[in-house]
Amino acid sequence: MALSPGPVLVRDALELWCAAGASGALRVLEAPGGVIHLVGGRIAYAESPVTTSLERQLAATGRVSTEAWRAAAATGRAQARIGDELIEAALVSRLELEALAEIAIHDAAFFLLDLVAMARFEPGARHPLGHRRLLDLRAVCQEAERRRRLLADAWPDQAIDTAAVLPVSRLTGQVVALTALQWEVVANANRRRSPIDLARLLGRDTFGVLLEVRRMARAGLVEAGRQGGSAASESVAAARAAAAVAQQTEPVRRGPARSGKRKAAVAEAPTTLDRRTIPQQRRPVPVEQIAPHASDEHRLSDQVLTRLIAGLTAL
């Protein structure tokens, strides 16, 4: 096992192990916590206490009862075959399980990628579910950024994600149309549950509930109550506050990675995490620096790239 010598940006630690083609689990040791599983440098699964587990999502659909899940876990946990046991019992299709696993990856990655926390890499560790879908870090980072933009466009104040959902007592219009998920949220809001709590209660993916609550806030249908209410909500709020402080106190000093240094890091990486290769507390790195978009509008020109490298060399 390789323990980071200090708090690291999870995105950076993950990039290092993915570039090295490692298989195992990167475990985030500080709140809100979570685990990202890798196979051959690709993301196979991710989970966090603040997101809805795949077990809970399956139970919410009515397809897999708690007893059926426990039976599959008892048989397949040791060989990382819980997913295969569910498929063989005809409780869920392979495609459905793969889709839910991908949703779980993106859900957890949204909360984990930009955390600054102690982390430990456990070589060879596998998730008991089995590896249903392998995703590139680039794709996961891009999806996290897309989700962040969607949330900001719907309602810019992220404090509502960790506050109790309060339906307004009086509506300004005569007619209100709600989606099925919005109705579930309103019907189960009890002036204590945050969107994170409601997602877990309803067996829904956490991002979907966050987005619908923000949309309802923009429409004047709900408002934010008191913060906290559960350990999950409080841990997310605390992690976001810590990240905001780190962004203000630690300037971004990293430019585009140089091929020579990157090859050296890949050759040396997987046995230990070194302070020189994993940066300490700082602002989350823009996803374009980790995995540039393929489109021309997001690609730096050779001239700009040359100036960037020259500037960094001068530092």
pLDDT in tens, 45-86: 999 999 999 999 999 988 899 999 999 999 999 999 999 999
* Alpha carbon distance 7, 152 (integer Å): 27
Orientation angle between helical segments 54-61 and 66-76, nearest 10 degrees: 140
User: Are residues 22 and 123 in contact, defined by beta-carbon separation less than 8 angstroms?
Assistant: yes
In this prediction, residues 263-268 reach a mean pLDDT of: 36
> What's the pTM value of the predicted model, to 2 decimals?
0.77
Judge whether residue 259 has pLDDT over 90.
no
Sheet holding 42-47, edge to edge: 2-3, 119-123, 24-28, 34-39, 42-47
Predicted pLDDT of residue 277 = 37
For residue 195, is the peptide bond before it cis, meaning its omega torsion is within 30 degrees of 0?
no
Closest CA to 143 of 203, 79, 80, 207: 207
Per-residue pLDDT tens for 78-94?
A: 999 999 999 999 999 99
28 Cβ contact list (under 8 Å, min separation 6):
10, 34, 35, 36, 48, 112, 115, 117, 118, 119
- Rounded CA separation 166/189 (Å): 7
Residue 90 DSSP SS3: coil
Q: How far is CA 139 from CA 105, 261, 280, in A?
A: 11, 23, 24
Q: Which whole number is the average pLDDT over 167-195?
A: 92
pLDDT at position 14: 96
Please give the Cα distance from 227 to 245 (Å, whole number): 19
Residue 247 three-state SS? helix
128 closest CA partner among 74, 63, 81: 81
As beta bridge partners, residue 45 has 37
Q: Quick one: CA dihedral 240, 243, 244, 245, positive or negative?
A: positive
pLDDT score recorded for residue 275: 35
- pLDDT at position 89 is 95
Look at residue 106 in the predicted model and tell me its pLDDT.
Answer: 97
Residue type for 174, please?
Q
Q: Find the length of the chain.
A: 315
The closest of 88, 143, 144, 92 to 115, measured between CA atoms, is: 144
Q: What is the pLDDT of residues 126-177, one digit of tens each?
A: 999 998 789 999 999 999 999 999 999 999 999 999 999 999 998 887 889 9
The candidate with the shortest Cα–Cα distance to 112, out of 266, 235, 262, is 235
The predicted structure's pLDDT at residue 278: 36
Q: What is the 3-state secondary structure (H, E, C) of 277-296?
A: CCCCCCCCCCHHHHCCCCCH
Considering only CA atoms, which of 269, 263, 235 is closest in space to residue 13?
269
Cα Rg of the chain (Å, integer): 21
Alpha carbon distances (Å) from 117 to 25, 42, 197, 223: 15, 21, 23, 31
Q: Which of 202, 252, 193 is nearest to 224 (CA)?
A: 193
Is the pLDDT at 99 greater than 70? The verdict is: yes
CA angle centred on 179, ends 173 and 183, rounded to 5°: 80
Percent of the chain with pLDDT over 70: 79
Q: Rounded CA gap, 104 and 47, in Å?
A: 7
State pLDDT tens for residues 196-218: 999 999 999 999 999 999 999 99
